Copies of this chain bind each other. A is one copy, B any other.
Amino acid sequence: MQELNPLLHSQLRLAVMSILMNVEEADFVYLKEKTESTAGNLSVQLDKLASAGYINIEKDMSGKRPRTICSVSDIGRNAFIEYVEALKSYINI
């Protein structure tokens, strides 16, 4: 059986990646609402994805309020695709 990338095999991180795979970019607040997560949890998981190079995080302080903008990187996109392939071997689709 193939191994499931542990970084992606987490509900919240998978949700974030899933969203980012389908949009150019998404900010912290949007991700928080979409995933229905707490800010703390989201913050931690975004850091992990960024540390692995799966997403790019840009902190924009130019506006009145801080804004954290995330987008998936090529590495992240490939990892996600590989994860999905591995997953398919568990659930027969």
Interface residues of A (CB under 8 A from B): 1, 3-4, 6, 9, 11, 14-15, 18, 22, 34-36, 83-84, 87-88, 90-93
Determine the chain B residues whose CB is within 8 A of the CB of A15 once the complex forms: 1, 90
Known: A4-B14, A18-B90. 7 other contacts (CB 8 A): A1-B34, A18-B91, A22-B92, A83-B91, A84-B93, A87-B91, A88-B93
Give the number of copies in the complex. 2
Q: Which of B3, B34, B35, B36 contacts A11 (CB 8 A)?
A: B3
> Considering the complex of A and B, which 8 residue pairs feature the smallest CB-CB distances, nearest first?
A18-B90, A84-B91, A4-B11, A1-B15, A14-B90, A93-B93, A1-B35, A9-B11
